[in-house]
Amino acid sequence: MTYPTDRPATWFITGASRGLGLELVKKLLERGDNVAATTRSTERLIGSLEGTDTSRLHALALDLADEAQVVQAVNSTKERFGTIDVVVNNAGYGYLGAVEEVPDADVRAMFDVQIFGAWNVLRAVLPGFREAHSGHIINISSIVGLLAFPGWGLYAAGKFALEGLTASLAGEVADYGIKVNLVEPGYMRTDFLRPVSIGLPESTTDAYPAVREMVEQHLAMPGTQLGDPAKAAEAIITVATTGTAPIHQILGSDSLGLAEARVKGLTEAIDASRELAVTTDIPGVA
């Protein structure tokens, strides 16, 4: 896929009214690109864009878990702008709690957004991308999609699933000229760890004091994170415009350090597994 240079590109972005998604919308509108921005509240999105030229904005109120609504939103974007060039699956929210504490409804709600919602978008855009032999899909993951921590089980489960989905997709669509990337940020100064964006279990147990301490530390973190969401938005635009980023594009020095630790730990686990691993082969089968 070659990023268009003879016309404004058209972006389809989910989770656009806060944080990284909102910064990306602002940067793209400033560039003069077309932006279809989905959110549960178009009023909040438009209010957050005060002072920005929104003539190229297509704001869409959307429940990502509703496949019919997603298809309608994609079709509406094509009617407005003629095509879609880049899709950014960014919608999501944090959740802190021990695995034992997370109720079924919260698990399903998380996967509705992070996996089923993203999958609905992919099914809606891929036929058009295949036909055009063009298109770029950028799925926003997290360092927690590579390395899980106690208390992050639900969020990590969603991001790990997104990582697997994206890796398979990249191989499936490569012959159609469709580019696929994962973006894996570290901590950024957004509302991600504030009450508007973080989920917590209604009831907890005193069996996991380390998780309780971790939750308290994270709820006190806003304003101290290393990552700049505006710079992260610029980096995502670079991923799209250059088309040269690896499938795993890490953002933030904190994320980079944690990813390197994950690789080291995985290498050590492979070495420790080797002796037992080879004992399960059927003898004489090459």
Rounded Cα gap, residues 180 and 88, in angstroms: 10
pLDDT the model gives residue 192:
73
Q: Please, what's the largest Cα pairwise distance for the chain?
A: 71
* pLDDT for res 54: 94
> Over pLDDT 90: what percentage of the chain?
84
Q: Residue 196's pLDDT band (boundaries 50, 70, 90)?
A: confident
Residue 273 included in any domain: no
Give the pLDDT score at 212. 93
In a domain, 205, yes or no: yes
* Annotation says 231 is catalytic: no
Domain assignment present for residue 1? The answer is no
Indicate if 159 belongs to the active site. Answer: yes
pLDDT of residue 1: 59
For residues 234 and 188, what is the distance between their CA atoms, to the nearest angstrom?
A: 14
Say how far apart CA 122 and CA 105 lie, in whole Å: 24
Determine the residue type at 48.
Answer: S
Q: Is residue 167 in some structural domain?
A: yes
pLDDT digits (tens, 9 = 90+) for 146-171: 999 999 999 999 999 999 999 999 99
Confidence bin at 265 (pLDDT 50/70/90): very high
DSSP characters for 189-201?
A: SSSTTSTTTEE--
**Is residue 118 a part of any domain in this protein?**
yes
Cβ atoms 198, 145 nearer than 8 A: no
Which CATH number fits the domain that encloses residue 182?
A: 3.40.50.720
Q: Of 134, 141, 142, 255, which one is the catalytic site residue?
A: 141
Q: Cβ(188)–Cβ(232) under 8 Å? A: yes
Taking the CA atoms of 60, 66, 67 and 68 in sequence, report the sign of the dihedral they define: negative
Write down the catalytic residue from 155, 187, 208, 255.
Answer: 155
Mean per-residue pLDDT for 110-131? 97
Interacting residues of 232 by C-beta distance below 8 A, sequence separation 6+: 20, 23, 183, 185, 188, 251, 252
**pLDDT (average), residues 63-89:** 98
Helix (H, G, I), strand (E, B) or coil at 263: helix
Two tokens, residue 7:
């016309």
CB 143 within 8 Å of CB 260 = no
Give the pair of three-digit tokens for residue 207.
């069996």
Residues 6 or more apart from 42 whose CB is under 8 A from it?
A: 17, 59, 60, 61
pLDDT at position 217, please? 87
More confident residue, 210 or 189: 210
| Tokens, residue 245 | 């980023």
- Amino acid occupying residue 273: S
Q: What residues contact residue 191 under an 8 Å CB cut-off, 6+ apart?
A: 18, 19, 197, 222
Distance, in Å, from the CA atom of 61 to the CA atom of 132, rounded to the nearest integer, reads 27
Residue 51 lies in a domain: yes
46 confidence band (pLDDT: 50, 70, 90): very high
pLDDT tens-place string over residues 214-226: 988 888 877 778 8
Phi/psi for 12 (5° steps) reads -120, 115
**What is the pLDDT of the chain when averaged over all its residues?**
94
Provide the H-helix boundaries in 174-222.
Answer: 209-219
Q: Are 190 and 229 in contact (CB under 8 A)?
A: yes
What is the extent of the structural domain holding 55? 10-252
Query: Considering its fold, how many domains does the chain have in total?
Result: 1
Band of pLDDT at residue 41, cut at 50, 70 and 90: confident
**Residue 55 within a domain:** yes
Q: Is residue 239 part of a domain?
A: yes
Across the range 100-115, mean pLDDT stands at 96
Helices and strands per DSSP (H, E), number in the chain = 9, 9
Reported as a single tens digit per residue, the pLDDT across 223-238 is: 778 888 999 999 999 9
Catalytic: which of 26, 93, 95, 159? 159
